[in-house]
Amino acid sequence: GAVVSQHPSRVICKSGTSVKIECRSLDFQATTMFWYRQFPKQSLMLMATSNEGSKATYEQGVEKDKFLINHASLTLSTLTVTSAHPEDSSFYICSAITGRVTEAFFGQGTRLTVV
Amino acid sequence: AQSVSQHNHHVILSEAASLELGCNYSYGGTVNLFWYVQYPGQHLQLLLKYFSGDPLVKGIKGFEAEFIKSKFSFNLRKPSVQWSDTAEYFCAAQPGNEKLTFGTGTRLTIIP
């Protein structure tokens, strides 16, 4: 199947700093990418949907100024957690689809710890 | 609200036992259904999916799932589990062309 690479896999940052997470589709062009957040023992919660070249669509309750999403090319989307706080510590996962294919391919996730 | 429920949070089985993980969804119309698996330290992988047609869907690694419309269910089954099946399993539903909604996941632990 198609490969989605997410980097970094783990990151620890100080409170107040910003962290950028990259999501790349390695062998296909991702027209749409999704960013999820997973809390311990809970489900994956969709944060936002991004289409290449346009602004991301955020889910209700997700602060767009805090979680900046850029989808500048068909193979790369980035999530920047700005002014991170300990409550932003979580597991962030991206996924990508291409065209009308509804199967989504997932990155390996990024564990963010804000200290 | 639309939701996906996985009632088994943690299942522990011995090798060779049969497995059934429950999944119920709350959408009334057409829905695509998925089961994903996440092995320790790895990313989510698709096990199987149902869009239409035969309600009994066969996936990779000997897994299958049955779509029962009247029960709004899409339970995952495997007749004989292996130690390597230890993982987290997520059911997901996608009504029409809308976003995927995931269940809370079921942790499966297989005892050798």
Q: What are the C-alpha distances in Å from A72 to residues A15, A44, A79?
A: 27, 24, 12
Confidence at residue B28, expressed as pLDDT on a 0 to 100 scale: 79
Confidence at residue B71, expressed as pLDDT on a 0 to 100 scale: 94
Least confident of A59-73, A84-98, B8-22, B87-101: B87-101
Q: Using CA atoms of B44, A69, B4, B91 in order, give the dihedral in degrees to the nearest 10.
A: -10
pLDDT tens per residue across span A6-48: 999 999 999 999 999 999 999 888 888 999 998 877 788 999 9
Determine whether the interchain pair B43/A93 forms a contact, defined as Cβ–Cβ distance below 8 Å.
yes
Report yes or no: B106 and B47 within 8 Å, Cβ to Cβ. Answer: no
Q: How confident is the model at residue B1 (pLDDT cuts 50, 70, 90)?
A: low
Determine whether the interchain pair B43/A41 forms a contact, defined as Cβ–Cβ distance below 8 Å.
no
Chain B residues whose CB is inside 8 A of the A93 CB are 43-44
pLDDT tens per residue across span A76-102: 999 999 999 999 999 999 999 876 556
pLDDT tens per residue across span A44-79: 899 999 988 888 999 999 999 999 999 888 899 999
Tell which of A102, A105, A108, A110 to mutate to test the B interface (max B CBs under 10 Å): A102
- Beta strands B73-78 and B19-21, pairing class: antiparallel
* Of residues B61, B82, B71, B79, the one with CA closest to residue B7: B71
How does DSSP classify residue A15? T
Please state, for a pLDDT cut of 90, what percent of chain B lies above it: 71
Give the chain B residue whose CA is nearest to the CA of A59.
B99
Confidence at residue A100, expressed as pLDDT on a 0 to 100 scale: 57
